Structure 1
Amino acid sequence: MSVQERKQRERAVRERLIVATARELAEQQGWDAVTTRRLAERIEYSQPVLYSHFRGKREIIGAVALEGAAEMAVAVRAATAGASGPRERVTALARTYLDFAARNPAVYDALFQLDGGLAFAVEETPEPLKDAFASLLESLGEVAGDGVRPGLFTEVFWASLHGLATLTRAGRLLPEDVESRVELLVDRLAVV
């Protein structure tokens, strides 16, 4: 292994450490607790080293969001792969999405609430975000109904899930009705 390869590998390891530490801190104490000073202390590197990887908190939020998008895509695909039919796939997708949002609030915020400097729904959208949307489209496209563009249907269904996730987390919806909401959403929107 050349010196250059070793340095690149060490740099990648440091970058993963920064992202993992930011994510852990945000999940424990919220994004306000994530500062470059605190991250530098936790990873035991100087702030200039941290800045050599990320220009600031915004880019770190973006990195956490991209990691989370990839994880969500994997979770959705795994949940829908074993379903026996379209209705079961859509129900599994909805449950998995809501569970991901509930179990990973800081990641979910990085994806959809905070400014991580990421572009959505444009040519420059990073691949992990495109893939997360594709993981939804794979199951939802087949239940969009006649004359409805699958992408448009996926956006509306996703927006509904996002609303449910956000309102439940904010305490605006009763948590015991999550399953009833999923069933209603699937019954009313998905054409199966």
Structure 2
Amino acid sequence: MGIDDRRQRERDARRRLIITTARTLAETEGWDAVTTRRLSTEIEYSQPVLYKHFAGMEQLVDAVAIDGFGELADVTRDARLRAGPPNDALARVAHAYLDFAGANPAVYDAMFARATTLRFAAPDTPPQLTAAFDELRQAVDLAHDAQDAEALTEVLWAALHGLVTLGRTGRLRPGHDSDRLQLLVEQFTSRRGPVRRAKP
């Protein structure tokens, strides 16, 4: 292995360590604890080294978010592939989405709540974001014959995100999570057929 290859591997390893440490701090102490000074102390690199990898906190949060979308794509794909009938696939994917959000609240915040430079549904959208959306869409496709599957998937995504956000902030009745999720899935699976667009 050449010197350049080794240096790149070391650089990649440092970058990964910074992202992992930021994520761990955010999950255990909240995003306010994730500062360049704190990261520098935790990983024993100087702040200038951190800035060689990330120009600022926004770029670091973006990196955590991209990892999160990749993981969300993986867990929803696994749920879909383990499913039986089409309706079961949508239910399993929805459960996997909520479970991921519940197990990784700081990462979920990076993905959806914190300021970001990431662009969705654009030519430069990172592949991890596209993969996460595509997994939801495949579950929708299995459960519903829709003319506009993307719009229907966006509605499902919005509903799941609403359940996560309202549940985390105590805006929903406790003890009814399963009932709400079952009702949501039933709305997508009870009437299979084309979705008609409303006239403007």
TM-score, normalised relative to structure 1: 0.96
Once the two structures are superposed, the pairs formed by residues 82-161 of structure 1 within 5 Å of their partners are 82-146=82-146, 148-161=147-160
Letter in 2 for 1:27: E
Residue by residue over 1:143-177, the C-alpha shift from the partner in whole angstroms, topping out at 9 and shown as x without a partner, is 3344x311110000010000000100111113411
Rounded to whole Å, the distance in 1 between the matches of 2:115 and 2:122 is 16
- 1:112-152 alpha-carbon deviations (Å, 9 max, x no partner): 00113111121111111011101111111233344x31111
Q: Which amino acid in the other structure matches residue 74 of structure 1?
A: D
Match of 1:173 in 2: 172
- Give the number of equivalent residue pairs: 191
Name whichever of 13-22 and 28-37 sits farther off.
28-37
The amino acid of 1:103's aligned partner reads A
Instruction: Determine the structure 1 residue equivalent to 2:196.
Output: none
Match of 1:48 in 2: 48
Amino acid aligned to 1:135: E
2:161 aligned partner: 162
Instruction: Specify the code of the residue in structure 1 equivalent to 2:179.
Output: S
Cα distance in 2, alignment partners of residues 144 and 83 from structure 1: 15
Of all paired residues, the percent bearing the same amino acid is 48
Task: Give me the whole-angstrom Cα distance separating, in 1, the residues matched to 2:175 and 2:12.
Answer: 42
Q: Which runs of 4+ in 1 moved over 6 A?
A: none
What amino acid is the match of 1:40? S
Correspondence 1:188 to 2:191: no
Shift of 1:32: 1.1
User: Do the aligned partners of 2:89 and 2:142 also contact (CA within 8 Å) in 1?
Assistant: no
CA distance in 2, matches of 1:33, 1:141: 41
Residue 57 of structure 1 aligns with which residue? 57
1:175 and 1:79 mapped to 2: Cα distance? 25
Paired AA for residue 183 in structure 1: Q
> 1:189: how far off?
2.4
Aligned-partner residue type, residue 144 of structure 2 = A
Equivalent positions of 1:70-81 (< 5 A) are 70-81=70-81
Structure (1/2) with the larger helix percentage:
1
TM-score, normalised relative to structure 2 = 0.92
Structure 1 residue runs without a partner (length 5+): none
| SS at structure 2 position matched to 1:60 | helix
